[in-house]
Structure 1
Amino acid sequence: MNDKPTGIANNLTNYGDRDFSLYLRRSFAQSMGYSREILKRPVVGIAYTESGFNNCHRHFPEMLEAVKRGVLTAGGLPMEFPTISLGEVFLNPTSLKFRNLMSMDTEEMVRAQPMDAVVLMGGCDKTVPAQLMGAVSAGRPSIMLVAGPMMTGRHHGERLGACTDCRRFWAQYRAGKVSDDEIHEVESKLATTAGTCAVMGTASTMACIAEALGMMLPGTAAIPAVHADRLRAAEATGATAVRMIDANLTPERIVTRESVENALRVLLAIGGSTNAVIHLAAIAGRAGLSISLDRLNELSDTTPVLVNLKPVGNGYMEDFFAGGGVGALLRELKDLLHLDCMTVTGETLGERLGYDSGAWIDRTIIAERAKPLEPQGGLIALFGNLAPGGAILKRSAADEKLFEHEGRAVVFTSLEDLAARIDDPALDVTADDILVLQNAGPHSTSAMPEAGYLPIPKKLATKGIKDMVRVSDARMSGTAFGTIVLHVTPDSASGGPLGLVRNGDRLRLSVKERRIDLLVDEAELKRRAAEPRPAVDKPSRGYAKLYAQEIMGADEGCDFAFLKPR
Structure 2
Amino acid sequence: MQSDNMKRGMQQAPARSLLNALGFTKEEINKPLVGIVSSYNEIVPGHMNIDKIAEAAKLGVAEAGGNPVVFPAIAVCDGIAMGHVGMKYSLVTRDLIADSTECMAIAHQFDALIMIPNCDKNVPGLLMAAARINVPTVFVSGGPMLAGHVEGRKRSLSSMFEAVGANAAGKMTDEEVRIYEENVCPTCGSCSGMYTANSMNCLTEAIGMGLRGNGTIPAVYSARLRLAKQAGYAVMDMLRKNIRPRDIITKESIINALTVDMALGCSTNTMLHLPAIAHEVGFDFDISYANPISERTPNLCHLAPAGPTYIEDLNEAGGVYAVMKELGDAGLLNLDCMTVTGKTIGENIKNAVNRNPEVIRPIDHPYMENGGLAVLKGNLAPDGSVVKRSAVAPEMMKHTGPARVFDCEEDAIKAIKGGDIVPGDVVVIRYEGPKGGPGMREMLNPTSAITGMGLGSSVALITDGRFSGASRGASIGHVSPEAAVGGPIALVEEGDTITIDIPNMTITLEVSDEELAKRKAAWKPRKPKVTTGYLKRYAALVTSGNRGAILEVPGEKEADK
Q: TM-score, normalised by structure 1?
A: 0.92
Give the corresponding residue for 2:16: 26
Distance 1:22 1:228, change over 3 A: same
1:109-148 to 2 correspondences below 5 Å: 109-148=104-143
2-side partners of 1:198 and 1:517: how far apart? Answer: 35
Query: Is the counterpart of residue 394 in structure 1 residue 388 in structure 2?
Result: yes
1:105 to 96, 100, 103: 100
Query: Is the counterpart of residue 186 in structure 1 residue 180 in structure 2?
Result: yes
1-side partners of 2:47 and 2:152: how far apart? Answer: 28
1:196-345 to 2 correspondences below 5 Å: 196-334=190-328, 335-345=331-341
What is the one-letter code of the residue matched to 1:145? V
Query: Is the counterpart of residue 95 in structure 1 residue 117 in structure 2?
Result: no
CA contact (8 A) 1:431 1:465 kept: no
What is the one-letter code of the residue matched to 2:433? G
Q: Specify the SS of the correspondent of 1:125.
A: coil
1-side partners of 2:512 and 2:364: how far apart? Answer: 46
2:439 to 447, 454, 467: 447
1:377-388 to 2 correspondences below 5 Å: 377-388=371-382
Deviation by residue 1:28-65 (Cα, 9 ceiling, x = unmatched):
22222221112110111011111122221111111111
Distance 1:433 1:445, change over 3 A: closer
What is the one-letter code of the residue matched to 2:340? V
CA contact (8 A) 2:161 2:448 kept: no
RMSD of the TM alignment (CA)?
2.1
CA contact (8 A) 2:443 2:466 kept: yes
What is the one-letter code of the residue matched to 1:352? N
1:412 to 400, 406, 419: 406
CA contact (8 A) 2:497 2:509 kept: yes
Q: Specify the SS of the correspondent of 1:47.
A: strand
2-side partners of 1:62 and 1:481: how far apart? Answer: 34
Deviation by residue 1:304-348 (Cα, 9 ceiling, x = unmatched):
111131112211111111110011111000021001111111111
Bigger mean CA deviation after superposition, 118-127 or 540-549: 540-549
1:493 to 481, 484, 492: 484
Query: Is the counterpart of residue 469 in structure 1 residue 464 in structure 2?
Result: no
1:431 to 403, 416, 423: 423
CA contact (8 A) 1:312 1:397 kept: yes
Deviation by residue 1:160-204 (Cα, 9 ceiling, x = unmatched):
22x222233233223212110110121111112111011111111
1:59-74 to 2 correspondences below 5 Å: 59-74=49-64
What is the one-letter code of the residue matched to 2:25? S
Distance 1:181 1:84, change over 3 A: same
Give the corresponding residue for 1:159: 154
Give the corresponding residue for 2:43: 53
Q: CA deviation at 1:207?
A: 0.8
Distance 1:452 1:230, change over 3 A: closer
CA contact (8 A) 1:456 1:468 kept: no
Deviation by residue 1:483-508 (Cα, 9 ceiling, x = unmatched):
11111100001110000000011111
Distance 1:467 1:134, change over 3 A: farther
CA contact (8 A) 2:375 2:385 kept: yes
Give the corresponding residue for 2:508: 517
Query: Is the counterpart of residue 350 in structure 1 residue 346 in structure 2?
Result: yes
1-side partners of 2:301 and 2:452: how far apart? Answer: 30
1-side partners of 2:293 and 2:201: how far apart? Answer: 20
Q: Specify the SS of the correspondent of 1:178.
A: coil
What is the one-letter code of the residue matched to 2:338? M
What is the one-letter code of the residue matched to 1:227? Y
CA contact (8 A) 1:323 1:365 kept: yes
1-side partners of 2:414 and 2:317: how far apart? Answer: 45
Bigger mean CA deviation after superposition, 482-491 or 460-469: 460-469
What is the one-letter code of the residue matched to 2:17? S
Bigger mean CA deviation after superposition, 230-239 or 139-148: 139-148
Distance 1:286 1:31, change over 3 A: same
2-side partners of 1:445 and 1:350: how far apart? Answer: 43
CA contact (8 A) 2:465 2:477 kept: yes
2-side partners of 1:344 and 1:500: how far apart? Answer: 48
Bigger mean CA deviation after superposition, 530-539 or 163-172: 530-539
Query: Is the counterpart of residue 375 in structure 1 residue 365 in structure 2?
Result: no
Distance 1:526 1:60, change over 3 A: same
- Across the two proteins, how many residue pairs are aligned to each other? 550
Q: Specify the SS of the correspondent of 2:378.
A: coil
- Runs of 5+ unmatched residues, structure 2: none
Give the corresponding residue for 1:15: none
What is the one-letter code of the residue matched to 2:221? H
Q: CA deviation at 1:294?
A: 3.1
1:543-558 to 2 correspondences below 5 Å: 543-558=534-549
CA contact (8 A) 1:88 1:126 kept: no
2-side partners of 1:350 and 1:230: how far apart? Answer: 24
Q: CA deviation at 1:378?
A: 0.6
CA contact (8 A) 1:110 1:135 kept: no
Query: Is the counterpart of residue 77 in structure 1 residue 67 in structure 2?
Result: yes
Q: CA deviation at 1:414?
A: 1.8
Q: Specify the SS of the correspondent of 2:446.
A: coil
Q: CA deviation at 1:452?
A: 6.2
State the identity %: 35
Deviation by residue 1:338-387 (Cα, 9 ceiling, x = unmatched):
01111111111111122x34x45111211111111111101110110000
Q: CA deviation at 1:442?
A: 1.1
CA contact (8 A) 2:436 2:528 kept: no
Bigger mean CA deviation after superposition, 338-347 or 29-38: 29-38
Q: Specify the SS of the correspondent of 2:71.
A: strand
Distance 1:517 1:76, change over 3 A: same
> Following TM superposition, where does structure 1 have runs of at least 4 consecutive aligned residues deviating by more than 6 angstroms?
none
2-side partners of 1:316 and 1:375: how far apart? Answer: 21
Q: CA deviation at 1:514?
A: 1.2
Q: CA deviation at 1:457?
A: 7.1
Q: TM-score, normalised by structure 2?
A: 0.93
CA contact (8 A) 1:343 1:349 kept: yes
CA contact (8 A) 1:437 1:452 kept: no
Bigger mean CA deviation after superposition, 413-422 or 46-55: 413-422
Q: CA deviation at 1:463?
A: 6.7
2-side partners of 1:52 and 1:231: how far apart? Answer: 19
Q: Specify the SS of the correspondent of 2:69.
A: strand
1-side partners of 2:133 and 2:38: how far apart? Answer: 17
